[in-house]
């Protein structure tokens, strides 16, 4: 482990960046909005996770660095909008 830490392989760095970006795109709004927004519900959280994961994989594979931004920015923004829209449309059905 010490040898790998001194001479970190390039692939290890990119795997770490990819996994952290994916976790951020999938779980950021479920955690933040689930804790601090009383209208958030499981339908909004689940749809936000699906959109975040799908868009992150899509942008990473087919269009990295859209508009000069990091790959994770657009999936995070889209998952926020989906969380809000779906939660508002299903607010009478369930709460988190």
Q: Give residue limits of the domains in the chain.
A: 2-89
Percent of the chain with pLDDT strictly greater than 70: 92
What does the alpha-carbon distance between residue 84 and residue 68 come to, in Å, rounded to a whole number?
Answer: 26
pTM: 0.80
DSSP label at 66? Answer: G
What does the alpha-carbon distance between residue 26 and residue 30 come to, in Å, rounded to a whole number?
Answer: 8
Tokens of 9: 């392989």
What does the alpha-carbon distance between residue 96 and residue 94 come to, in Å, rounded to a whole number?
Answer: 7
What does the alpha-carbon distance between residue 38 and residue 34 come to, in Å, rounded to a whole number?
Answer: 7
| Backbone φ, ψ for residue 63 (5° rounding) | -150, 70
pLDDT band at 54 (very low <50, low <70, confident <90, very high): very high
Segment 55-79, tens digit of pLDDT: 999 998 998 888 888 889 999 999 9
* Statement: residue 94 has pLDDT above 60: no
Nearest to 29 by CA among 46, 5, 13: 46
Tokens of 64: 């990295």
């Amino acid at each position: 482990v010490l040898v790998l830490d001194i001479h970190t392989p390039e692939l290890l760095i990119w795997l770490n960046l990819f996994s952290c970006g994916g976790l951020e795109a999938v779980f950021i709004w479920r955690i933040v909005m689930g804790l601090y927004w009383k209208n958030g519900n499981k339908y909004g959280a689940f749809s936000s996770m699906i959109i975040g994961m799908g868009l992150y994989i899509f942008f990473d594979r087919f269009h990295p660095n859209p508009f000069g931004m990091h790959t994770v920015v657009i999936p995070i923004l889209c998952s926020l909008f989906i969380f809000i829209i779906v939660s508002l449309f299903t607010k009478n059905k369930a709460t988190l």
